[in-house]
Structure 1
Amino acid sequence: MQIEHTELADVIVLVPQPFRDDRGLFTRTFDATAFDAHLGRPGAAAAFVQDSQSRSVRGVVRGMHGRAGRGEAKLVRCARGAVYDVLVDIRPGSPTFGRHQAFLLDDDGFRTLYVPPGYLHGFQALTAVADVCYRIDRPHDPVEDIAVAYDDRDLGIGWPEPVTVISARDRAAGSWADLVAWLGGGGHPGAAVRAR
């Protein structure tokens, strides 16, 4: 398994090496030893405690979601189809604070994105059906959910497909400016920033 660095601080991509033959293929989608060695933290992989999966149809955007408190680390991969996956650094003091980067995740390359705590995450389904698998390092608590609008002008994320479906929760998401004010000590995230 190879590990690629990204433009965003502390974000890496795990790139497996599939073995292909006339039957199809076999690949390792995660290697705890390589992951721990790269992070320099023995046992880091053992912190992941919950796996989830979503299914979306072409054009659906899910995002931009984050978590208050100490945040959460996650491993994200596309098990079926393809998605345009986007991360935004929301860690004040980070050299890449406020920047975003997009990644193509699909069921051909089997790339897994490591998202450290302190990032917003979202994606758009690029295929008729896209299954995304998430592995997170602490149980989900909806009270800590935060969200910023997927089409926030200040973030300027360019989604590659026409957006077809957005959940009511994501339509109610707040602005990047509101989140920045909250991160700077402007009280608690209001209804506009905290996801519903």
Structure 2
Amino acid sequence: MQTIELSLPGVLLFRPTPHHDDRGFFTRTFDSAVAEEHGIEPCSFVQDSQSRSRRGTIRGMHGRLGRGEAKLVRCARGTVLDVLVDARPGSPTFGRSLTVQLDDVELVHLFVPPGMLHGFQALTEWADVCYRIDREHEPAEDVAVRFDDPELGIEWPLPVGVISERDRTAGSWEALVGRLRTERAAARGPDLVH
């Protein structure tokens, strides 16, 4: 399994080596030894989830407050454009985005470290996305930024198909940045806030 470091710190792409024959193919979808080589604690994953989306559907941009959550994301069926935005205050790439195509041909897996906004658009008739997550879902920590926020400038390849009410009415990047700054200042304590 090949590991590729991407342009946002901590974001990794794992490229497996499928073995093809007359039956189809077989591939490893996770390797704890490879994960450990890159500082990922394999036993930290506590939940696996899967979504199915029709062509044009956008899910995102979602994140978590507090200590965030790490995810290992792959597309098991079809093709998606996966999008990350660095929402880690203090990161040298804060506010920058990254896009990666995930599909059922290349079979790559995207490691998303805590502190990222994450979303995707289904590019094929149907797309199944699988997520391996390191924390149980805590709705009170959920945050979302509009998929079409002009400050993020994400270029979705297809016209928007289906989108949830939550994603359609999500807040702005500017509002999230303000919230992150407030929480960061509060965590430092009152004598450190200027």
TM-score by length of 2: 0.93
Tell me the distance in 2 between the aligned counterparts of 1:105 and 1:29. Answer: 13
Corresponding position of 1:191 = none
For 2:74, the equivalent position in structure 1 comes to 77
1:9 corresponds to: 9
2:145 alignment counterpart: 148
The answer to whether residue 164 in structure 2 is matched with residue 167 in structure 1 is yes
Q: 2 CA distance for matches of 1:183 and 1:131? A: 31
Query: How many Å separate the matches in 1 of 2:8 and 2:152?
Result: 15
The partner residue of 2:98 within 98, 101, 107 is 101
Cα deviation 1:59-85 (Å, max 9, x = unaligned): 000000000111000000000000000
Q: Distance in 1 between matches of 2:29 and 2:106?
A: 10
Counterpart of 2:182 in 1: which secondary structure? Answer: coil
Per-residue deviation, 1:152: 0.2
Q: Following TM superposition, by how much is the alpha carbon of 1:168 offset from its aligned partner in structure 2, in angstroms?
A: 0.4
Unaligned runs of 5+ residues in structure 1 are: 188-196
Which residue type is aligned with residue 135 of structure 2?
R
Amino acid at match of 1:46: C
Paired with 1:23 and 1:79, the residues of 2 have a C-alpha distance of 18
Offset at 1:172? 1.2
Q: Which amino acid aligns with 1:9?
A: P
- CA distance in structure 2 between the aligned counterparts of 1:153 and 1:22, rounded to whole angstroms: 48
> How far apart are residue 143 of structure 1 and its match?
1.2
Q: 1:27 matched to which residue of 2?
A: 27
CA distance in structure 2 between the partners assigned to 1:186 and 1:107 by the alignment: 39
Per-residue CA distance 1:12-50 (angstroms, 9 max, x = gap): 0011000111211110011010110122x6xx0110000
Q: Secondary structure at the match of 2:38?
A: helix
TM-score (norm 1): 0.92
SS at match of 1:35: helix
- What is the alpha-carbon distance in structure 2 between the residues aligned to residue 186 and residue 33 of structure 1? 36
Task: Name the CA distance, whole Å, in 1 between partners of 2:23 and 2:130.
Answer: 24
Which residue of 42, 54, 61 maps to 2:58? 61
The answer for unaligned runs of 5 or more in structure 2 is 185-194
SS of the residue corresponding to residue 110 of structure 1 reads coil
Alpha-carbon offset, residue 186 of structure 1: 6.7
Structure 1 runs of 4+ off > 4 angstroms? none
3-state SS of 1:64 partner: strand
- Cα RMSD, aligned residues only: 1.1
SS in 2 for 1:185: helix
Equivalent residue runs for 1:110-129 within 5 Å: 110-129=107-126
Secondary structure of the 1:184 match is helix
